[in-house]
Amino acid sequence: MIPQASPYHQYKMYEKEIRAVVKKVFTSGRYILGTEVEKFEKEFSKFIGVNSAISCANGTDALFMALKQLELGKGDEVLVPAHTALASAAAIKMVGAEPVYVDIKSDTFTIDPDKVLKLCNKKTKALIAVHIYGQACDMDKIMKIGKLKNIKIIEDCAQSVGSSYNNKMLGSIGDIGCFSFFPTKNLGAIGDGGCVVTNNKKLANKIKRFRQYGWNDDRKTLSPGINSRLDELQAAILRIKLVNLNKDNKLRNNQASFYINKLRLPEVVTPIIRKNSFHSFHLFVIKCEKRNQLMNYLKSNKIITALHYKTPIHLMPGYSSKKKLPVTENLSKKILSLPLFPGLTKANQKKVINKIHQFYSKR
C-alpha cells in the first residue's frame, strides 16, 4: 500500500539519532519541563523569528491558550474559516466565544479577506488565519484589517511549520502563532505536542504560567490555569527533526512539483503557490471531478488518499451555522489529498500519477 502520510518513514530517516536522544532522556531522570523542553523552545523561537515559544500538550491547547490569554470569552466573536481542522473552531468554543465562519478563496483555499471585512462588528475581537495545507494566508490584507478593526490576529500554523510569507516565517506575523506537532505534521512528534509563539513578552509570560496551573516561579497561582505540558521525550525528538525541517520541506516541494508537472488533466486542478511565499506542502490537495470514484479506484490499486476536509465545520451538528459558504461547500465535494511525505519514492509517485491518468482515460 502507498499511504497518504507516513510518520513511520520520517522516523526511519532519523532513527539512529532519535534512539540516542530517547535513551538520553530515559537516563536523565527528568521527564517533564526539563532541559530538552527549554532548549527546544529557544531553538523553535529562533527558527520562527520570535522572542518567545511556549510549548504545550497539543495544537488545540495552543489555540485555546492563545485565545484565553488574549482575554476572549463569552459575548465575543472570532472569525475563522470553516474549511479547516475542527480544532480551529473547537478552541473558540472552549473559551466561551462564538466562531463566525468565513468563506475561502477558491484558488488558495485560505480565508477570504474581502469577506472578513464585511463580517466585522462590535463583537468581533479576533481572527484566526488558518494557513491551510502549508499555504500562507494573504497576511498583508489580514494585518490591515486587524489594525483597522482593532482585532487580534491569531495564526493557526498547525499545517504550515516552515512556511513563509514575504520572507517572514508564518507564526511571526500576527499577534500570536499556534502550532501542532501531531505525528503527521511536517514537524511531528512521536506522540502529541503543540506550541504558542509571540513577540509580546507580557503575553508569553501569561501563557507560560497558564499552561501549568497558573504557577509563577515560586509555584504560587496568580490566576487559574490548566495542565498542558510538552514532555522531555517529545521535545528531544522534535529538536532532531527541527534541524532537518527545511530539508524535509524541500523534499515535499520537490514531490509537489512533480505532481503539478505530471497531472496536467482537464479534470484535475493542482495547488497554486501564493506569490512571495514558501508553501511547506503539509498536504498536496487537488480539486478533481468524480472525486469519490477516483478515491475508490486508487484504493483498489493500493493507493491511499484522504479528504481534508469532507464536512465543513459550519455543517457539523455540534458547530452548525445558518451561514452559507458556497466556495467552502463546493470545494468539500471535490478535494482529495494525494500521498506526499518525506520517504515517498519517485516510483510510487509515478504509480499514483499513472493511475490517475488511467482513471480519467477510461471515462
In the chain, the DSSP E strands lie at 52-56, 77-81, 98-102, 124-130, 152-156, 164-165, 168-169, 176-180, 194-198, 268-269, 277-278, 284-288, 335-338
Q: Are residues 197 and 262 both part of a single domain?
A: no
Residue 161 in any domain: the answer is yes
**Residue 145: inside a domain:** yes
In a domain, 252, yes or no: yes
- 2 lies in some domain: no
Q: Are residues 186 and 328 in the same domain?
A: no
**355 in the same domain as 238:** no
Provide the percentage of residues in the chain whose pLDDT is more than 90: 97
161 residue type, one letter: V
Last residue of a domain, one of 243, 264, 298: 243
Same domain, yes or no, for 63 and 138?
Answer: yes
328 shares a domain with 292 = yes
Can you give the residue range of the structural domain that contains 84? 7-243
Q: What is the total count of domains within the chain?
A: 2
8-state DSSP, 102: E
Question: What average pLDDT does the segment 105-134 reach?
Answer: 97
Q: What are the pLDDT digits (tens) for 190-214?
A: 999 999 999 999 999 999 999 999 9
Last residue of a domain, one of 190, 219, 243: 243
Q: Do 74 and 132 sit in the same domain of this protein? A: yes
Q: Do residue 183 and residue 237 come from a single domain?
A: yes
In a domain, residue 310? The reply is: yes
Q: 204, 222, 243 — which closes off a domain?
A: 243
Reply yes or no on whether the pLDDT at 363 is more than 80: no
Identify whether residues 162 and 254 lie together within a single domain.
no
CATH number at 200 reads 3.40.640.10
pLDDT by residue (tens digit) across 234-292? 999 999 999 999 999 999 999 999 999 999 999 999 999 999 999 999 999 999 999 99
Tell me the per-residue pLDDT of 25-65, one tens digit each, with 9 for 90 and over.
999 999 999 999 999 999 999 999 999 999 999 999 999 99
187 falls within a domain: yes
Can you give the pLDDT at residue 222? Answer: 84
- Do residues 237 and 261 share a domain? no
Separation of alpha carbons 363 and 361, rounded Å: 6
Q: Does residue 1 form part of some domain?
A: no
Count CB neighbours of 227 within 10 A.
10
Q: What is the CATH number of the domain that holds 343?
A: 3.90.1150.10
Same domain, 151 and 225: yes
Per-residue confidence band for 322, with pLDDT thresholds at 50, 70 and 90: confident
